[in-house]
């Protein structure tokens, strides 16, 4: 079983390594960025039971910070991405600190409200370029050596970041901390009665999730050489919920599958204009009604039944 899993991971990695020779790299990188974003979001929803409706703030803000530090301050790409990630983590600390005091719908609404504040900040602030966003962010040289303007170099950098990010999430879920987090998700009063200050655990989960969402956002800026309001808009917060539910919440790779499906759909259906939104809405309804565990969740359940 353990070996089978290792072989599966190795096969996925191999697939990731050869994919750019068959598929347009920018599309792949978009899949990876949103995959990591959904995965980070799922750390909070699937393992801490907290539905954040403001994760766009972390994705978008990290994108702006990364773009600004690279473009205007001349940071190398690795430092720009790091700055974006750190900022998202700090923002997560502030938003999480206020939001974790409530649960359920109130938690979701507080995160939404605070994310809207971030949106308006980005709209009005000078360094974000307001409605134009930051355009033409130079990709530069990673560690001063690897030229990221080469599509393949950029792709493998993104792949490495994605693998690293997902690995951190996997490790967090399967750590002593992850155990406590799952117990809080399952039965919060009981976790308190065992002596755990649950708010602190939720806050750490929130900060980790925000920082990793930021890592995805900062990486995305380097890929598209662009940071714009789209990424801080609440649409993005909604989309990540859809990605996670579609792929399978509470599984490590489910959200990645959901993100890939959604990104590919949007890519194929660009010709249909706004109908994409209608179609994703339909998919969401079908997903919630017919297969609530999500694509990967249903597959895993099927496998469990067969064994």
Residues that bind another protein (CB under 8 A): 171-172, 174-180, 182-183, 185-187, 189-198, 200-201, 204, 208
* The dihedral sign for the CA sequence 304, 2, 45, 218: negative
Name the residue nearer to another protein (CB basis): 193 or 274.
193
Q: How far is the CB of 47 from another protein (least distance, A)?
A: 10
Q: How far is the CB of 52 from another protein (least distance, A)?
A: 18
Name the residue nearer to another protein (CB basis): 135 or 179.
179
Largest separation between any pair of C-alpha atoms in the chain: 58
Name the residue nearer to another protein (CB basis): 43 or 261.
43
Q: How far is the CB of 190 from another protein (least distance, A)?
A: 4
Coil/strand/helix, residue 85? helix
Q: What angle do CA 117, 234, 55 make, to 5 degrees?
A: 80
Name the residue nearer to another protein (CB basis): 147 or 197.
197
In the structure encoding, which two tokens stand for residue 204, read together?
Answer: 């750490």
Name the residue nearer to another protein (CB basis): 208 or 240.
208
Distance CA 224, CA 67 (A): 10
Q: How far is the CB of 199 from another protein (least distance, A)?
A: 9
Q: How far is the CB of 112 from another protein (least distance, A)?
A: 26
DSSP string, 11-62: HHHHHHHHGGGTS-HHHHHHHHHHHHHHHHHHHHHHHH----S-THHHHHHH
């Amino acid at each position: 079983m353990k070996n089978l899993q290792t072989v599966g991971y190795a096969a996925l990695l191999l697939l990731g390594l050869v994919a750019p020779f068959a598929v347009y790299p920018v599309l792949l990188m978009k899949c990876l960025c949103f995959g990591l974003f959904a995965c980070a979001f799922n750390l909070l929803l699937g393992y801490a039971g907290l539905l954040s409706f403001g994760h766009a703030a972390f994705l978008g803000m990290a994108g702006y910070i990364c773009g600004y530090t690279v473009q205007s301050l001349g940071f190398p790409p690795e430092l720009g991405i790091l700055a974006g990630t750190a900022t998202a983590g700090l923002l997560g600390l502030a938003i999480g600190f206020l939001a974790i005091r409530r649960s359920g719908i109130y938690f979701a609404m507080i995160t939404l409200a605070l994310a809207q504040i971030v949106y308006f900040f980005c709209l009005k602030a000078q360094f974000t370029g307001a409605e134009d966003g930051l355009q033409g962010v130079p990709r530069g040289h990673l560690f001063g050596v690897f030229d990221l303007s080469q599509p393949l170099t950029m792709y493998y950098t993104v792949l490495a970041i994605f693998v690293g990010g997902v690995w951190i999430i996997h490790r967090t879920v399967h750590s002593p901390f992850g155990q406590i987090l799952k117990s809080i998700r399952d039965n919060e009063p009981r976790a308190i009665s065992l002596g755990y200050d649950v708010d602190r655990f939720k806050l750490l989960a929130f900060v980790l999730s925000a920082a990793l969402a930021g890592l995805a956002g900062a990486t995305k800026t380097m890929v598209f050489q662009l940071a714009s309001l789209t990424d801080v808009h609440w649409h993005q917060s909604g989309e990540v919920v859809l990605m996670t539910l579609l792929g399978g919440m509470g599984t490590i790779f489910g959200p990645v599958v959901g993100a890939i499906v959604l990104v590919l759909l949007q890519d194929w259906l660009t010709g249909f204009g706004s109908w994409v939104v209608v179609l994703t809405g339909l998919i969401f309804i079908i997903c919630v009604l017919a297969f609530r565990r999500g694509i990967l969740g249903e597959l895993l359940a099927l496998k469990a039944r067969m064994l």
